Structure 1
Amino acid sequence: METGAIQLRDLAGPFDLQATVESGQSYLWNRADGGMYDALSVHGGDCWYETVVPPVDGVSDRRAVLRVRQVEDRLEWESNVDAVPLLTHLLRLDDDLDAVLDATPDLPLLSRAYDAHEGMRLVRDPPFACLVSFICSAQMRVSRIHGMQVALARSYGDAVEFDGETYHAFPTPERLAARTEAELRELSLGYRAPYVRRTAEMVADGEASPEDALGSPYPEARESLTRFVGVGDKVADCVLLFSLGFLEAVPIDTWIRTAIADHFPDCDRGSYADTSRAIRERLGSDYAGYAQTYLFYYLRAGGE
């Protein structure tokens, strides 16, 4: 087992682990005490968080078990690999958060959201697992979405032994494609079961991959992801933002529609595409996804 610590003073801008992994961006981390997503608004905790990460191009060539917690001015970690490159990648520790937020508009609502959840960063989740997570997200509370991903991993993911404990990797596309719709429905996926199965089949057969969106202009990247069954514009934007690094993406969900209605009514242009373009411009274009995520978390937690 390898262990280490990342000094937060060495980062460009603040960081808060709990807000980052429990803000509704990612459903692939588990909290060691079992309290993941028990509360609507969390910040500043020192719980251990755990995940199993597949190899990441240019970052790690091994499947890794990661355990991490924030203690005062550092991130303490345990892993079967050197976790610094992976944590830097997954938690966007390489972002200059102050510069990012300074590049978004000076709006009172945004200022309140930034103050409420200081140090929250976006995540870079593994693309296939992120895609499945957000296919499962339709009309679901964050705790239920997380529960589905835990169930998929425990039922169909590889068991990985680490430090005397058993962890479960997220299932590969091949493993999920081999499941029946009935088996997936037993994990409470409901009508999403055939979407997950067919999407896994598309990736396993080489018909399509979420990574195909990389390198494309944002509109074409979003269109690329809508090839997958059960993926509309909003889910595509989630995958672009929380996995593939398109920081301009603004997923328009219930909370962002509320923000538009209450604070930016002129951005409501009727269609998703036109409204998306308008709200992206209002929230700062290049880093609009950061502003969106702070607004989502702030409003969901009862901030207004």
Structure 2
Amino acid sequence: METGHIPAESIPGSFDLQTTLESGQTFLWERTETPETGQWFRTVEKTDVIEVKARDGGLDWRSNTDPTDSLRHRLDLDTDLPDIRSGFPNDPVVQAAIDRFDGLRVVTEPVVPTLFSFILSAQMRIDRIHDLVTALRETYGDRIQWQDGDVSAFPDPERLATLSEAELRDLGLGYRAPYVKRTAVLLRDDVVSLETVGSHPYETAREELTEFVGVGPKVADCVLLFGMNFEEPVPLDTWIQSAIETHFPEAEQGSYEATSRAIRERLGPRPGYTQTYLFTHLRTDESNT
């Protein structure tokens, strides 16, 4: 096992590890906490186990190999956060979100498990989505030896394509089971190439992602934002629709596509970043419950 530290001085702006990983952007990390070791987050990338812990504004890590470059990419640690936020609209609800979540960053996670995670997200709470992703990983993922026992990777499309809908339903996927099965087959057979999708302009890429079963415009936006490093997407979920109704009513245009364009114009040059702050703020604001 290798260990290391990414110092705060190498991260432009603040960084809040827990909020970033538990804000509904990703479901690929598992939090562990003991009095002896403190709070760590664990994920698997290909055949490597990666564990991270916040310390002194930076990040401790331990892994099979040095994951520094991967962590900087996945957790957006090279982005100048104050510069990004300077482009946010001067709106009270946006400023309140910044005040509450100073170190929130937008992730770029491995795209295949991100795609399946958000296919599972329909009408689900964040903790339930995480449970389903964990069930898929622990039941059908490859086992990787680690210091305190084996850890499971997320199953690849080839493995998921071999599963029956009944096997997927047994994990609690419900009506999402055929979506996972059929999308896995499309990926396995290279009917839709994620690499090709990622090379296209934003709206074209969103349309192409909807060729996967169970992927509408909102899920496609989530995949593009959190798995493919697109800056434009603003997933129009319940919380963002509420923000539009209350704070940006002029952006409501009657259709997903038109409303998406209008709200992107209101949220600054990096609308996906602004959206992530708004979503996290509104979802956790007790005055909204």
Same fold (TM over 0.5): yes
Q: Deviations over 1:269-291 (max 9, x none)?
A: 0000000000010001x300000
Distance 2:270 2:57 in 1: 26
Distance 2:240 2:120 in 1: 19
- 1:127 touches 1:211 (CA, 8 Å); kept in 2? no
**Aligned with 2:231 (options 212, 236, 247):** 247
- 2:138 touches 2:152 (CA, 8 Å); kept in 1? yes
Consecutive unaligned residues of structure 1, counting only runs of 5 or more, are: 35-45, 55-62
Shift of 1:169: 0.1
- 2:14 touches 2:57 (CA, 8 Å); kept in 1? no
Query: 1:15 is matched by which residue type in structure 2?
Result: F
SS in 2 for 1:246: coil
| 1:175 and 2:130 matched | no
Identity over aligned pairs, percent:
51
Large movers: runs of 4+ above 4 Å = none
SS in 2 for 1:70: strand
Q: Which residue does 1:297 correspond to in 2? A: 280
Q: Which residue does 1:233 correspond to in 2? A: 217
**Aligned with 2:185 (options 196, 201, 206):** 201
Q: Deviations over 1:229-269 (max 9, x none)?
A: 00000000000000101111100000001101111111110
TM-score w.r.t. length of structure 2: 0.96
Q: Matches of residues 269-288 of structure 1 in structure 2 within 5 Å?
A: 269-284=253-268, 286-288=269-271
Distance 1:186 1:209 in 2: 29
TM-score w.r.t. length of structure 1: 0.91
Q: Which residue does 2:20 correspond to in 1? A: 20
How many residue pairs are counted as aligned between the two chains? 284
Distance 1:187 1:193 in 2: 9
Calculate the aligned-residue CA RMSD, in Å: 1.2
Q: Which residue does 2:251 correspond to in 1? A: 267
**Aligned with 2:102 (options 110, 118, 123):** 118
Shift of 1:303: 5.7
Q: Which residue does 1:47 correspond to in 2? A: 39
| 1:101 and 2:93 matched | no
Consecutive unaligned residues of structure 2, counting only runs of 5 or more, are: none
- 2:132 touches 2:173 (CA, 8 Å); kept in 1? yes
- 2:15 touches 2:57 (CA, 8 Å); kept in 1? no
